[in-house]
């Protein structure tokens, strides 16, 4: 039995939600839910200049949209300064943090020298070796500096080793990590410092994040060692790439809440889960509950995961095919496609009946808004006049009259007979226009089944009146 995991998703509100951030959040969520643990939201807003409240709201809304709920939070790093201050004072007092006055030009020269010598660049620690009275004097003058962490192999060990949940055993030489910046020149702590402090203070047992953070991990473990804390376990997820291993295009990143809400939430969460993870039985169409129950890090790959928009579209279609008409309507109402569209109870009832007949033809949330929802309202008179300009009005009237005089149960037989006599174009076209105001769409038999006899009569009568008026106007003009 897996021990309960206490995981977190810690987005930075310096940009909108996107495919990568949702992927990370989902896997942290899956780990906590599968183990019966706790899922926490923490907003990493240390970059005050670039953080925006709107992006924070959008990130949280995106999580809710795909069905992720959290047990604690959102906490915010900007509200936890007292915690950081105590740890910073301790690190300074123990000699693990020291001021660095090197300029960017100084650092560039060090990089050039390292490259010329054929060795990886590591800060040379020159400010660490300055006399304490010199450092105190420069600090006293208010000279701008950063504060670096002394990655001291003698005090912290020659290596940093940990077992990653995805990548397995990882070993880093402390001397190659180098002295990294923990406090910026403006006095604000860096992600490298505050993230591990937050994790231990919140009791996070497992840090789940992207593989691009793997190089950060040994540095953060060293900070925790210096403070006497036991680090959490780590799991670094495969990076997401485009089809063929190419870099994800901006269009495919699903950047922004509206972009995310253009996709069926069930299909999107299914797609995200399969980016780097496989079901034990190889199943492809999965609900969130099924993913949670089957999840384990043993089945997470280290290979980059390819985001294929066509696969996402396929998963959306499969989930739509398994949903009831009401579930489809509810999903559409939550999506970006419903923005600005009012759907009253009468419209909802019509959409339910329509989806009950044509549900197997629905391919996306967008198609619901384009092809189903508009059918709830009878065609406007002006739209009918424009659409009926392409039909022969006399023949159209003949068709409408015959259908209206026929009992509902026999209408399709009459329509087929008329089509064989007058031609399909002169029969199906005016009937389709009368019912939908459109030249193309679902099969006429399905439309008539969904609308019901009373609504059909109302729409056919309306179209017949408009066509008669058009004929009268034409005759009047011909005099």
With a pLDDT cut of 90, the percent of the chain lying above it is 82
The Cα 125–Cα 127 span in angstroms is 6
Residue 43 near residue 75 (C-beta atoms within 8 A) = yes
370-379 average pLDDT score: 91
339-368 average pLDDT score: 91
The Cα 223–Cα 44 span in angstroms is 18
Indicate the pLDDT class of residue 249, thresholds 50, 70 and 90: confident
User: What's the mean pLDDT when you consider all of the chain?
Assistant: 93
464-476 average pLDDT score: 77
Phi, psi of 38 (to 5 degrees): -130, 135
The Cα 177–Cα 163 span in angstroms is 18
Res. 2: pLDDT tops 90? no
What's the confidence (pLDDT) of residue 474? 57
Res. 14: pLDDT tops 70? yes
Phi, psi of 42 (to 5 degrees): -130, 125
Topology of domain 82-194, CATH: 3.90.800
255-259 average pLDDT score: 94
Phi, psi of 237 (to 5 degrees): -80, 155
With a pLDDT cut of 70, the percent of the chain lying above it is 98
462-473 average pLDDT score: 86
Q: Where in the chain is the domain with CATH 3.90.800.10?
A: 82-194
Phi, psi of 32 (to 5 degrees): -70, -45
Res. 83: pLDDT tops 70? yes
Alpha carbon separation from 310 to 31, 38, 281, 316 (Å, rounded): 27, 34, 23, 10
pLDDT in tens, 304-329: 999 999 999 999 999 999 999 999 99
332-345 average pLDDT score: 92
441-464 average pLDDT score: 93
Q: Which 8-state DSSP code applies to residue 11?
A: -
What's the confidence (pLDDT) of residue 476? 47
Q: What angle do CA 476, 478, 479 make, to 5 degrees?
A: 70
What's the confidence (pLDDT) of residue 478? 47
Topology of domain 378-478, CATH: Arc Repressor Mutant, subunit A (1.10.10)
Q: Where in the chain is the domain with CATH 1.10.10.350?
A: 378-478
370-380 average pLDDT score: 91
pTM for the whole thing? 0.91
Indicate the pLDDT class of residue 297, thresholds 50, 70 and 90: very high
Structure tokens at 91: 């690190």
The beta strand positions in 238-337, using DSSP E, are: 240-241, 305-306
């Amino acid at each position: 039995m897996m021990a309960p995991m206490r995981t977190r998703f810690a987005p930075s509100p310096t940009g909108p939600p996107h495919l990568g951030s949702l992927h990370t959040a989902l896997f942290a969520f899956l780990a906590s839910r599968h183990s019966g643990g706790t899922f926490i939201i923490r907003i990493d807003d240390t970059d005050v200049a670039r953080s925006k409240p709107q992006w924070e709201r959008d990130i949280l809304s995106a999580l809710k949209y795909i069905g992720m709920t959290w047990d604690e939070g959102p906490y915010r790093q900007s509200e936890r300064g007292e915690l950081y201050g105590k740890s910073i004072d301790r690190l300074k007092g123990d000699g693990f943090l020291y001021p660095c006055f090197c300029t960017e030009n100084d650092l560039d020269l060090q990089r050039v020298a390292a490259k010329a010598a054929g060795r990886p660049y590591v800060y040379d620690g020159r400010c660490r070796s300055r006399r304490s009275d010199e450092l105190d004097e420069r600090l006293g003058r208010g000279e701008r500096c950063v504060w670096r962490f002394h990655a001291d192999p003698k005090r912290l060990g020659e290596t940093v080793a940990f077992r990653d949940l995805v990548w397995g055993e990882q070993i880093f030489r402390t001397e190659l990590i180098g002295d990294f910046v923990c406090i910026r020149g403006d006095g604000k702590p860096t992600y490298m410092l505050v993230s591990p402090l937050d994790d231990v203070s919140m009791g996070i047992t497992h840090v789940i994040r992207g593989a691009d953070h793997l190089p950060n991990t040994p540095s953060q473990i060293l900070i925790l060692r210096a403070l006497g804390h036991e680090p959490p376990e780590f799991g670094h997820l495969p990076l997401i790439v485009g089809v063929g291993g190419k870099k994800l295009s901006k269009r495919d990143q699903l950047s922004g809440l509206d972009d995310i809400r253009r996709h069926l939430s069930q299909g999107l969460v299914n797609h995200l889960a399969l980016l780097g993870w496989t079901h034990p039985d190889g199943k492809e169409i999965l609900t969130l509950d099924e993913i949670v129950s089957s999840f384990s890090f043993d089945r997470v790959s280290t290979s980059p995961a390819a985001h294929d928009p066509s696969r996402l579209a396929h998963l959306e279609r499969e989930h739509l095919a398994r949903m009831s008409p009401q579930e489809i309507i509810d999903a559409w109402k939550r999506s970006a496609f419903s923005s600005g569209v009012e759907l009253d109870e009468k419209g909802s009832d019509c959409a339910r009946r329509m989806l009950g007949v044509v549900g197997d033809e629905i391919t996306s949330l967008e198609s619901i808004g384009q092809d189903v929802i508009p059918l709830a309202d009878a065609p406007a008179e002006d739209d009918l006049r424009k659409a009926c300009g392409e039909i022969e009005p006399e023949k159209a009237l003949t068709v409408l009259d015959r259908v209206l005089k026929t009992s509902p149960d026999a209408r399709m037989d009459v329509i087929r007979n008329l089509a064989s006599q007058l031609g399909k174009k002169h029969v199906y076209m005016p009937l389709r226009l009368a019912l939908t105001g459109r030249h193309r769409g679902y099969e006429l038999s399905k439309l008539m089944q969904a609308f019901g006899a009373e609504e059909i009569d109302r729409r056919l009568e309306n179209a017949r009146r408009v066509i008669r008026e058009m004929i009268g106007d034409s005759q009047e003009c011909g005099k």
